[in-house]
Amino acid sequence: MEHDRHDEHALRRFDDVQLEAVRSEMIRDRDERLELVIRALVLRAVPVIERVCRKRGTDRALSRAQISKAIEDASVRMLLRLNRPDRQPPVTALAAEIAVACIDAQEPRSPTLPRLATRRPDLRLTNALGDAVNDGRVRPNDWSNS
């Protein structure tokens, strides 16, 4: 059974290689329905982009905002790349490659400096009272001398 290449539901049933062939033909023929094929390819690429960005971003100690920014950037780059007329690698490989490039472009957060212990408190009243007890100026409160 031959599928209509221009039917969006039929495009979803194609594998990546078939979609790439349709994409190449549509670019060559300047077909206006190219957007449907590119959308189908990008939808297959987004889970790969998210997985790679989250894993690699976490490993590089990037913030959530930086990881989200890299995911958005990679998705846009994927769209632009698929609009090019030259032959592209398989969608998942291309998505992973672009995601890695977007994550590597982010600067890791600066490592937090170790927190130092607070300075020992200056307990002048307590120290003076302790000195007075030691000198005999003040007697400790004791049950025997109450």
Question: With contact defined as beta carbons under 8 Å apart, do 138 and 129 qualify?
Answer: yes
Q: How far is it, in rounded angstroms, from Cα 31 to Cα 39? A: 14
Least confident piece of the model among 42-46, 57-61, 115-119: 115-119
Mean pLDDT estimate for the chain = 82
Q: How far is it, in rounded angstroms, from Cα 53 to Cα 97? A: 10
What is the pTM assigned to this prediction?
Answer: 0.65
List the structure tokens of 118.
């607070």
The arithmetic mean of pLDDT across residues 1-9, rounded, is 53
Between residues 10 and 53, the one the model is more confident about = 53
pLDDT at 50 over 90: yes
Confidence (pLDDT) at 140: 66
What does the pLDDT look like over 89-137, one tens digit per residue? 888 999 999 999 999 998 887 666 677 777 777 778 788 888 888 888 8
| Total residue count of the chain as it appears in this document | 146
CA distances, 137 to each of 118, 128, 142 (Å): 33, 11, 15
Rg (C-alpha) for the chain, rounded Å, is: 33
What does the pLDDT look like over 72-81, one tens digit per residue? 999 999 999 9
DSSP reduced 3-state for 14: coil
Q: Highest mean pLDDT: which of 26-40, 47-61, 113-127? A: 47-61
pLDDT at 58 over 50: yes
Question: With contact defined as beta carbons under 8 Å apart, do 60 and 102 qualify?
Answer: no
| Amino acid identity for residue 80 in this structure | L
**pLDDT confidence tier of residue 3, bands split at 50, 70 and 90:** very low
> For the chain, what percentages of helix, strand and coil (3-state, to nearest 5) are there?
65, 0, 35
Question: With contact defined as beta carbons under 8 Å apart, do 15 and 3 qualify?
Answer: no
